[in-house]
Structure 1
Amino acid sequence: MTAVDAVLNLASEQKHRSGVDPGAFLEELEMIIQKAELCADVMWSEPVEIRLGYGQPEKINGPLQALNCLAQRWPDTGGEEYLKAKTLCMAALGERIPCADVRDAFIAAAAEADMLVRAN
């Protein structure tokens, strides 16, 4: 899945959940999409290892993988840490915050959802 696909899926999900002005939301997403492909190869210094359901542990290496996981595969999308991590992933892909800042938020979201295996 490309960065564009991940952001568009997130946009569709968000549009149904909130009363955000669609024009403003789409304008912000367009900016993220334009920059996301440039940030797609950004990796954290250490991956975060999570387990989805009863599956094998998997490593999440950066904000794009984290956003994809949060938007497409996360079991509980109502947690405070989940929402913070998803917002920060989008901000990192939009180059508004450093990618490293997102890692701690993703770890907190994984811990909140009882999915964290290891975060060095």
Structure 2
Amino acid sequence: MPNAQWSEPVEIEFDNAGSRTVRGPFDALIYLHDMWPRRTGAKFVKASNACKGAVEGRISLETAREDFLAAAAEAKLSTH
């Protein structure tokens, strides 16, 4: 389900790259692995696994979205 999208996209602010719209778990994986400021937090790891699971259809889209938001909070990234 690589094209699966969340019911509500997440706007996330990166210090060095400005605002980005994350529409689903596939987008989230790209940002988690290419732009994330800190890739060692427990919530980062959980979000990465959840988003991968959602892309593969093993985890619900909304669970992956919640885990992504928690990882953003852990990394002190602003979301809306």
Is 1:59 matched up with 2:21?
Answer: yes
Matches for 1:1-120 after TM superposition, within 5 Å? 39-118=1-80
Distance 2:41 2:65 in 1: 17
State the shift of 1:54 in Å: 3.7
SS at match of 2:79: strand
SS at match of 2:14: coil
Instruction: Mark the structure with the bigger radius of gyration.
Output: 1
Q: Which has the higher strand share?
A: 2
Unmatched segments (≥5 aa) in structure 2: none
Structure number with the bigger relative contact order (C-alpha 8 A, sep ≥ 6) is: 2
Q: Which has the higher helix share?
A: 1
Aligned length: 80
- Identity among equivalent positions (%) equals 36
- Give runs of ≥4 in structure 1 deviating > 2 Å: none
Cα-to-partner distance string for 1:80-114 (whole Å, 9 max, x where unaligned) = 11000001011111111111210000000001111
Name the Cα RMSD after superposition. Answer: 1.1
TM-score (norm 2): 0.91
TM-score (norm 1): 0.63
Distance 1:90 1:96 in 2: 9
